[in-house]
Amino acid sequence: MNDQSLLTLLYQDKNRGLESVMKQYAGLVYTIVFNKLSFVSGTEDIEECISDVFFTFSQSFQNVDLDRGSLKSYLAVMATRKAISRYRSLVSFSEMVPLDDNMALQNDSTPEELFFQNISAKALVNAINKLGEPDREIIIRKYYFRQSSKEISKAIHSKPNTVDSRVHRALKKLRDLMMEVENGPFSI
């Protein structure tokens, strides 16, 4: 079915319309949500987020304007936003650097090396948080969520070349901040 037919069906019979939308776009929504949440949550959270996307859509499908974009893009944006929101509720950025007891087995590091790796990782998180917005968000989206400059520019309402410039400047700031940590009281 095309988007106009799906919207017409939604207006005529909301349950059948929603079922048709879900049949057509469940794969897209699943892929987006899974890619954002799979490394921080289990199947239950992913399924719940997908349900939230379609529930919210069922409550707001009247806002879809096919002159501005497709139903696919509307659901993709909604899924991305819901997944990011769910991600933020599951994990705060400062907690993304756990010291895992099994790390020594994985990379043959000594306990001392693991200690300093953990300090470096936490220092990096603190340095990223010091960047301020929107640089902090851009760096997180670019290197943690692995989003392209085009995707980031849409999310923060900017141009892709502006995002690239901000990434370049933010990386310079991060390098300077990390040099301060390296030369600080815990330097080796």
Residue whose C-alpha is closest to residue 56's, from 22, 90, 24: 22
Q: Supply the pLDDT for residue 28.
A: 93
Q: Supply the pLDDT for residue 111.
A: 58
* Domain, as residue range, for 83: 3-90
Q: Is the peptide bond before 98 cis (omega within 30 degrees of 0)?
A: no
Q: Supply the pLDDT for residue 115.
A: 54
Q: Supply the pLDDT for residue 19.
A: 94
Please tell me the total count of domains within the chain.
Answer: 2
The CA-to-CA distance between both ends of the chain, in Å, stands at 64
Q: Supply the pLDDT for residue 89.
A: 78
In this structure, the answer to whether residues 176 and 102 fall within a common structural domain is: yes
The CATH number covering residue 120 comes to: 1.10.10.10
Asked whether residue 68 is assigned to any structural domain, the reply reads yes
Asked whether residue 188 is assigned to any structural domain, the reply reads no
List of E strands, the chain: none
Q: Supply the pLDDT for residue 102.
A: 42
Q: What is the mean pLDDT of each run of 10 residues along the chain (188 residues)?
A: 91 94 94 85 88 93 89 92 85 47 47 57 78 86 84 87 90 83 53
Examine the fold and report which residue of 47, 74, 90 is the final residue of a domain before the chain moves on. 90
Q: What is the pTM of this model?
A: 0.50
In this structure, the answer to whether residues 53 and 123 fall within a common structural domain is: no
Examine the fold and report which residue of 57, 90, 123 is the final residue of a domain before the chain moves on. 90
User: For 171-179, which contacts have Cβ atoms below 8 Å and span 24 or more sequence positions?
Assistant: 171/139, 173/127, 173/131, 173/135, 174/124, 174/127, 174/128, 174/131, 174/139, 177/127, 177/130, 178/123, 178/124, 178/127
